[in-house]
Amino acid sequence: MPASSPSAPVQDARFGLDRHLHLSEPLPLASGQSLAALDIGYETLGTLAPDARNAILICHALTGDQHVGAPNPRTGKPGWWDRLVGPGKPIDPARHFIICANVLGGCSGTSGPGSIDPATGQPYGMRFPVITVADMVAVQARLLDHLGIQQLHAVVGGSMGGMQALAWAVHHPERVRAVIAIATTARHSAQNIAFHEVGRQAIMADPRWRGGDYPPDDGPADGLAVARMAAHVTYLSEQGLTERFGRRLQDRDALGFGFDAEFQIESYLRHQGLRFTQRFDANSYLYITRAMDYFDLAQPHDGLLAPAFVPAARAGVRFALVSFTTDWLYPTAETKRIVRALHAAGAPTSFVEIDSPHGHDSFLLDAPEMNRIIAGFLAHNG
């Protein structure tokens, strides 16, 4: 095992390590602003090989965190992707050095609007600079620098994690050998932006948002819950909702003719909204959704996507794309657009559309076909 240091403790293949990195160099951002200092909360699993060639970076989605394969030390809940990541799983700490960092703008250890602004000693709130997916990737690159990893075996992510995985190939093609991008998009569509805007307006309409300067224990929970509910509907499919809930009533045999949760779907949504407010920061939700809305890999190339991938193709990056039949948030048609651009750029690309009734959330659920695809792709890129 490598020697330990204060910020790089001894690895243990069985358990995740909840880690933290503080960097005092300023971080330049896509907006032209910069962040004075940077904290990164991250988890590692497994042991970095002496040649540092077994590192896999996993990028989390909008409301995820760094606890991808080991239990969250605060909540005790299992890692959010432990069906894919863990001993005996396709991404295995016995073979891989697995890294997952809370994204820039987040609220789980990495600098975000809830962090203390060193210039004032107060939380940034809405004075935190606006960030992009490219900025998130730049932070991860700093983390890899710190960990002594020049090139990733693979970068893997679903949804916003897939955006980051694609952005790695675009912005740092020499630092990644393989990209696995799942249930994702190369740009946020007008409809994607629209749903995010509904959520942001719900948060900012809550008087307890107070322009972003709310105490941590008295934030805009009602607005954030509505934002989560609206988003949650987009993560599920009509088919999945019908199979799971249909028009079944909640705790009753007949219609109650009132405004309590009559239908199970209402009760479920209210529960999702409430639970979310207990684990996520409203300002982080504003900043991260904004970053996603800004995401458009083709923008610097006059709307053409293939040129964005040419440097990655030249660097020999291999790509695996996965979509799900009932994902209407980032539908298969958008994944096919990415695949066409990758082919046009000359990048080796595999693509599978998986049949699933569970909509966008499929990638977080039991998806044995996805796991087989990832295992196979990683094995052929060893």
Residue ranges in contact with a second copy by CB under 8 A? 30-33, 126, 129-130, 187-191, 193-195, 197-198, 200-202, 204-207, 222-223, 225-226, 229-230, 233, 236, 238, 241-242, 244-247, 255, 257-259, 261-263, 265-266, 269-270, 273, 286, 290, 293-294, 296, 299, 328, 331
Residue type present at position 222: D
User: Smallest gap, in angstroms, from Cβ of residue 240 to a second copy?
Assistant: 9
Tokens for 210, please give them: 């107070």
User: Smallest gap, in angstroms, from Cβ of residue 367 to a second copy?
Assistant: 22
CB-nearer residue toward a second copy: 263 or 344: 263
CB-nearer residue toward a second copy: 81 or 295: 295
Alpha carbon distance 148, 2 (integer Å):
12
Q: How many CB atoms lie within 10 A of CB 278?
A: 9
For the annotated catalytic residues, the residue numbers are 159, 327, 360
CB-nearer residue toward a second copy: 170 or 236: 236
DSSP per-residue letters across 328-364: -SS-HHHHHHHHHHHHHHT--EEEEEEP-SSGGGGGG
Question: Rounded to the nearest 5 degrees, what angle is found at the Cα of 265, between the Cα atoms of 290 and 363?
Answer: 50
User: Smallest gap, in angstroms, from Cβ of residue 166 to a second copy?
Assistant: 16
CB-nearer residue toward a second copy: 33 or 381: 33
Alpha carbon distance 345, 131 (integer Å):
28
User: Smallest gap, in angstroms, from Cβ of residue 108 to a second copy?
Assistant: 22
Alpha carbon distance 187, 128 (integer Å):
24
Q: How many CB atoms lie within 10 A of CB 5?
A: 9
Element (H, E) at 178: strand 178-182
Strands 178-182 and 318-324, how do they pair?
A: parallel
User: Smallest gap, in angstroms, from Cβ of residue 325 to a second copy?
Assistant: 15
User: Smallest gap, in angstroms, from Cβ of residue 176 to a second copy?
Assistant: 26
CA within 13 Å, CB half, 82: 13
Q: Tokens 């934002």 — which residue?
A: 227
Give 13's contacts (C-beta < 8 A, 6+ positions apart): 45, 46, 47, 87, 93, 94
CB-nearer residue toward a second copy: 1 or 259: 259
User: Smallest gap, in angstroms, from Cβ of residue 132 to a second copy?
Assistant: 8
Identify which of 143, 173, 146, 192 has the alpha carbon closest to the alpha carbon of residue 295.
192
292, exposed or middle or buried, with CB in 10 Å at 0-12, 13-18, 19+?
Answer: buried
Identify which of 54, 52, 53, 88 has the alpha carbon closest to the alpha carbon of residue 69.
88
Identify which of 81, 83, 89 has the alpha carbon closest to the alpha carbon of residue 60.
81
CB-nearer residue toward a second copy: 299 or 325: 299
CB-nearer residue toward a second copy: 120 or 191: 191
